[in-house]
Amino acid sequence: MARRLGVSRKVITSDGVAVPTLSKSESAPPGTTVYVKLDLQIKDTPPEVGIFIPDGFELGSHIDILLYMRGFKIRDEVVSVESYFKQSYGKLREGVNSSGRNVILVAPALGPNSQAGSLVKPGGLDSFLGQALAAVLKHGRLADPPRLLTLGHLIIACHSGGGAPVRKMAGGSDEGLTNLRECWGYDSLYHDADVPFWGTWARAKTNDRLLLYYLPTGTPAQRCKELAKLKLPNLIAQKSSAPDHMHVPITHWRSNLKGANFLAMRSGSALVA
């Protein structure tokens, strides 16, 4: 699949964008994780976004981004992205590192029921991506940083209740969607609109892929099976081997990165089977 950059009417860059304030940074796991304040206007939710720049990241003319939309808050779980990253089911940064892919992970704090605030409003995705790029440029400890960063390939992944805002974003008209190459849904189809929307999306976006994973029973399983019956080559629905709902994303995370051949490899990195 060839790059399709520069197709959108308005290229998404960090230029002229308000830089989110840095709250905290850390270097474990290897690489750079920054937590910035980026307000998505979600009630009772801290304006936090976690951004992970993997170990050995190589700066090029375009920055590929993997946007992760988490599911509902469970029981007494802390909503913060930092807390999520440190759970057994949240080790997404480690997966990016071990994949060798030259991609930056961006994970916003969503509401308790996966509310995404301004992200699902017209222009919200573009604004968010521009601010994420500005945060990487300002706080990411890049060697020889350029004047601006430009969005390259985009992947949007979601878990559980995060599927609803991803459907709304993917069905929007923001310019950043021109760069969208894949959507990954982890046990995430809980709405009646999912099957007709994603079937139509996959038929229209023949150069892009939709990857879905589901547990053996439940509503997402039924809807994934309905979509699989369409037999579209760019729509893959697969039963998950995860031990439970919370571990569906991390169970398939690394293999999804491995299969994203449009993402460059970092020098010295090699994919391990």
Residue range 174-188: mean pLDDT, rounded: 97
CA 86 to mean position of chain CA atoms: 17
Residue range 179-208: mean pLDDT, rounded: 97
What value does the mean pLDDT of the chain take? 92
Task: State how far the alpha carbon of 69 is from the alpha carbons of 1, 57, 66, 164, in Å.
Answer: 25, 22, 10, 10
d(CA 173, CA 8): 11
**Gyration radius from the chain CA atoms:** 17
* Residue 72 confidence class, pLDDT cut points 50, 70, 90: confident
CA 151 to mean position of chain CA atoms: 13
Cβ-Cβ contacts under 8 Å for 86 (sequence gap 6 or more): none
d(CA 273, CA 202): 28
Residue range 17-22: mean pLDDT, rounded: 95
**Confidence check: pLDDT of 63 > 50:** yes
**E-assigned strand segments in 91-248:** 104-108, 151-159, 180-186, 209-214, 235-239
**Confidence check: pLDDT of 46 > 50:** yes
pLDDT of residue 74: 65
Question: Superfamily assignment of 21-259 in CATH?
Answer: Alpha/Beta hydrolase fold, catalytic domain (3.40.50.1820)
* Residue 211 confidence class, pLDDT cut points 50, 70, 90: very high
Higher pLDDT, 270 or 251: 251
Angle at 123 between CA 120 and CA 126, to 5 degrees: 95
**Confidence check: pLDDT of 121 > 60:** yes
Measuring CA to CA, which residue among 48, 52, 49 is closest to residue 29?
52
d(CA 35, CA 81): 8
Residue range 80-85: mean pLDDT, rounded: 92
**Confidence check: pLDDT of 265 > 50:** yes
pLDDT tens track for 134-164: 999 999 999 888 999 999 999 999 999 999 9
Residue range 171-180: mean pLDDT, rounded: 96
pLDDT of residue 77: 59
pLDDT of residue 78: 55
d(CA 233, CA 209): 8
* Residue 55 confidence class, pLDDT cut points 50, 70, 90: very high
pLDDT of residue 73: 72
pLDDT of residue 8: 40
Give the pTM: 0.93
**Confidence check: pLDDT of 259 > 90:** yes
